[in-house]
Structure 1
């Protein structure tokens, strides 16, 4: 079980360990697998809590200390200057892919920092019909059409293509997914249990220039 310090929540250095313990009580566990800073910005605002988070790990209140990141610049700063983190959580998917992240994630692995990824379905974008895309996302239409060709050629569903692409990357330890129903959960679990051939070379060659559209917060 992993939780995180909510954005815009300020905790004093002296109260941080108790704050984490309160999280454990709320979740009805005696310790956590991981505790994270919500994002890079909130971490920088409360950097004084960094050694306290490591202290929580030393005291076995948590197993691992982590941070949620977005940009490669953020990732690089953490890997170089805050390498006592045990894991980073970042976006990684068919579009926000190895062409943009591989080198940094291999560097993380070399430093024994786990890579946890999110946004495997890019906020549902991969399930959208290209002809029904909202105006702001129309520039991604050619890439979605390429995915349609790939999944047809390899006889894969888009769920399988998206999940297996990320799961098969040796520099990624864990993949975070969101679900709305128990059926979705079971379907995704079944996909993870059977490795299927994915054309990594083709997908890795996707180098999408509309970088801002890889962040769903920019879609509105």
Structure 2
């Protein structure tokens, strides 16, 4: 039985994105993908104020009303860095304005979850308290943080007023597991979504496709390709199954730029790979350096 569910990420719908700088699809194509996803078992949609026009695209989809709003779980994020250099007294005004802008673009009067996009804000009591005022105002149902580092994830778990966390996790990026984040989360009721299962497509690339600024990733990409061939697996299936076996994760956030890719990912997600096979392969990628697995550190 699959415990982890899929969440459709929408960054590709709002801007050119990915290691190859894939072109964003047109609004009509993107809405078609959202339609297909929500008619085929995906009820959770992830977007952000910083994802170009992504919120507008999700709003165009919601306006069609092909599925009832209360059947969907919509997540968006507070624009990064907006509170830098701002006095504490202005936090509420700025955060409320940004959230109202998001709700207007989406054409909805509430979010199911609202996340801080600047993970370092999780260390500020004042910012977390202000975020929770959005919940008290009835504009969001749950609040949380999109994190990048294990220390940020642990701070989320430590805070009783943070209910939701999105974190990077993949067969190439096992930092959260190694740091004990999932173990610590067992004691808490925090909901965890994982992103970057494919690391912007790096896991799926041929060695010759890896850009020069990531040259040191080439042997790693080659190794996963050989291991998948040896076990008769596709890299998409391996990447998804690696996330699926982590019981603390409720949703795998993934992005697509075509309806064909969406259909393939939904189909492949249903396939199960034996846990011991996943573990054997995963052992080979336990200690990959952060500047390979974290796109924010890529020196393009």
TM-score bin, normalised by smaller chain: 0.7 to 0.9
Corresponding residue number in structure 1 for 2:10: none
Corresponding residue number in structure 2 for 1:119: 196
Question: Which runs of 5 or more residues in structure 1 are unaligned?
Answer: none
Question: Matches of residues 13-52 of structure 1 in structure 2 within 5 Å?
Answer: 13-15=91-93, 16-17=95-96, 19-44=98-123, 47-52=125-130
Q: CA deviation at 1:150?
A: 2.6
**In the aligned structure 2, how far is the partner of 1:35 from the partner of 1:14?**
14
1:194 matched to 2:267: no
Match of 2:261 among 181, 184, 188: 184
* Cα 1:14–1:39 shift into 2, 3 Å: closer
Question: Matches of residues 133-212 of structure 1 in structure 2 within 5 Å?
Answer: 133-197=210-274, 199-205=277-283, 206-212=285-291
CA contact (8 A) 2:120 2:152 kept: no
**In the aligned structure 2, how far is the partner of 1:135 from the partner of 1:22?**
39
* Cα 1:116–1:102 shift into 2, 3 Å: farther
**In the aligned structure 2, how far is the partner of 1:210 from the partner of 1:75?**
19
Count of equivalent residues: 218
CA contact (8 A) 1:100 1:207 kept: no
Question: Which runs of 5 or more residues in structure 2 are unaligned?
Answer: 1-73
**In the aligned structure 1, how far is the partner of 2:119 from the partner of 2:208?**
36
Question: Matches of residues 3-82 of structure 1 in structure 2 within 5 Å?
Answer: 3-10=76-83, 12-15=90-93, 16-17=95-96, 19-44=98-123, 47-80=125-158, 82=159
- TM-score by length of structure 1 reads 0.86
CA contact (8 A) 2:121 2:128 kept: no
* Cα 1:93–1:110 shift into 2, 3 Å: same
- TM-score by length of structure 2 reads 0.65
* 3-state DSSP of counterpart to 1:62: coil
State the structure with bigger RCO (CA 8 A, min sep 6), 1 or 2: 2
The superposition leaves residues 42-76 of structure 1 with CA deviations (integer Å, 9 ceiling, x where unpaired) of: 455x6523113223224432121110111112222
1:103 matched to 2:174: no
